[in-house]
Amino acid sequence: MNNLINIAKNEIQDNTQLPFSVYSSYKEQKINNVPILKPLLIFILNGTKQLGNTDLVECQSGSFVFLSNSPRIDMRNIPIQEEYFAVLIDFDHDDFSELPKNSLPSKKYFQGEINELLANTLSQYMEFCSFAPSHVMKRRKREILEIIYYSGYSDVCNIIKSPNVSEKVQSMILEDISFDWSVELIASNLFMSMSTLRRKLKNEGNTLQDIRNRARLGYGLHLLQTTQLQIGNIAEKCGYQSQSRFTDQFKLLFGMTPREIRKTKMID
C-alpha cells in the first residue's frame, strides 16, 4: 500500500486536475450526510473507513468499498499509524456499458480486497493521468471496473442505479455551482413543468433549496479535503457571501465545522 500512497502523493503535488481524488487525515473525521452523486470507488490505503451507524460497515487498509449513488451516508475516517489515506474514483453510467448485464437488484455497496492485479491497475491509472489524454483515461477507468469484475466481484454490475430527480437536480447544480439555477431552467432541462418538478422533489422528501444547499456544501467538503484553500475562499466558491453562514450550514449538515475538518488534516 505504501507504493500506492507514494504515487498518489506525487501526482497530487504535480497536477491540479486529476481523474481521482485523495482524502487524507491525521485525526479522526466523523462526517454525517455525505452525498454520493455518482458510483464511487474508494481504495483505503491506510487507516479504517466506517460507513453508517446502525448497520456499520468497516473497511480496513488494503481493501476497497464501492458505493452506489445515494443522497446521504454517514462516514468515519480513522487514522492508523498516524494517517488515514484513501484514493477515490467516481464513475459515470456509461463506464459500466461493457460489463455483463443481469437482472439482479442494485446494491448500495460492496467491499473487496485490493489484490495484486487491482493494485497494479490503480498504480498505472494514477501514473498515466500526468500525460495521457482524457479518452485514454476513460478507457483506463473502465479497465478498473473490468479488473474488479474478473477478480470475482460480480456485484460491480449492480452498483449502478438510475438517479432520482433530486440527484439529477443536484448533479445539474454542481456543473456550475456559482450559477443561480432557477426552478424554470432546471425544470426545462429535465423536460418537465415546474409544478411536476416540485411535486417529484416533494415526493422524494426534498425541496430545490435543500438540494442547492447540499450541492454547495458537498462541494465545500470536497475542497476542504483536497485543497489548501482558505475557508473564506471555499465559502465564496460555494456561493456563500458570508463565511459564518457557510460554517453554520456546514456544521448543521455534516456535524463538523470546516475548521474542524481542516484541523484533522494538520499534524500537531
Q: Are 256 and 224 within 8 A, CB to CB?
A: no
Same domain, 153 and 242: no
Same domain, 135 and 179: no
* Domain C-terminal end among 129, 158, 187: 158
Same domain, 144 and 207: no
* Domain C-terminal end among 114, 143, 158: 158
Same domain, 89 and 198: no
Q: What is the pLDDT of residues 74-111, one digit of tens each?
A: 999 999 888 999 999 999 989 999 999 888 888 999 99
> What distance in Å separates the CA atoms of residue 203 and residue 225, rounded to the nearest whole number?
33
Same domain, 54 and 8: yes
What cell numbers appear for 174 in the block?
454542481
Same domain, 130 and 30: yes
| CATH number for 17 | 2.60.120.810
Same domain, 134 and 187: no
* Domain C-terminal end among 137, 158, 179: 158
3-state DSSP of the chain: CHHHHHHHHHHHHHCCCCCCEEEEECCCEEEEEEEECCCEEEEEEECEEEECCCCCEEEECCEEEEECCEEEEEEEEECECCEEEEEEEECCHHHHCCCCCCCCCCCCEEEEECCHHHHHHHHHHHHHCCCCCHHHHHHHHHHHHHHHHHCCCHHHHHCCCCCCHHHHHHHHHHHCCCCCCCHHHHHHHCCCCHHHHHHHHHHCCCCHHHHHHHHHHHHHHHHHHHCCCCHHHHHHHCCCCCHHHHHHHHHHHHCCCHHHHHHHCCCC
Ranges of residues in the chain with a pLDDT under 50 are none
Same domain, 113 and 176: no
Distance (Å) of CA 212 to CA 24, 26, 54, 171, 208: 27, 31, 28, 10, 6
> What distance in Å separates the CA atoms of residue 107 and residue 148, rounded to the nearest whole number?
15
Q: Are 4 and 87 within 8 A, CB to CB?
A: yes
Report pLDDT for 179: 85
Overall domain count for the chain: 2
> What distance in Å separates the CA atoms of residue 16 and residue 11, rounded to the nearest whole number?
9
Same domain, 58 and 146: yes
Report pLDDT for 114: 97
Domain of residue 86: give its range: 2-158
Same domain, 151 and 181: no
Report pLDDT for 132: 87
